[in-house]
Amino acid sequence: MTFNINSGIGNVTQFGELSTLAVADQNGYGAGILQSISMSQEGMLVGSFSNGVNRPLAQLAIANFTNPEGLDYNGSSMFGATRNSG
């Protein structure tokens, strides 16, 4: 495989002197570290970060059954809906 740096981008020039990179402005949040996780009433797992941002991380499906006793036990604390569960 051959790589041609001049293909489609014109000529590239680099000068042999020092350069400096500086951030002029920022259009987003600074880096943050996950500090805590909470659960909303809607089943949303919300992460709170050290930069003050709260973001949804995942959502759990929540369901209400008219007859919870009619659920089918699938093992390992897991249940499945049946006709009897509503």
Q: What is the mean pLDDT of the chain?
A: 83
Give 55's pLDDT tier (boundaries 50, 70, 90): very high
DSSP 49-78: ETTS-EEEEEE------S-GGGPEEEETTE
pLDDT reading at 70 higher than 90 = yes
Q: What's the average model confidence in pLDDT over 70-85?
A: 92
Q: Is the CB of residue 34 less than 8 Å from the CB of residue 49?
A: yes
Please tell me the pTM assigned to this model: 0.46
pLDDT at 16: 73
Give the dihedral of Cα atoms 18, 24, 29, 34; nearest 10 deg: 20
pLDDT of residue 29: 83
Bridge partner list, 38: 46
Note whether 53 and 41 are within 8 A (CB): no
State the amino acid at position 1 in one-letter form: M
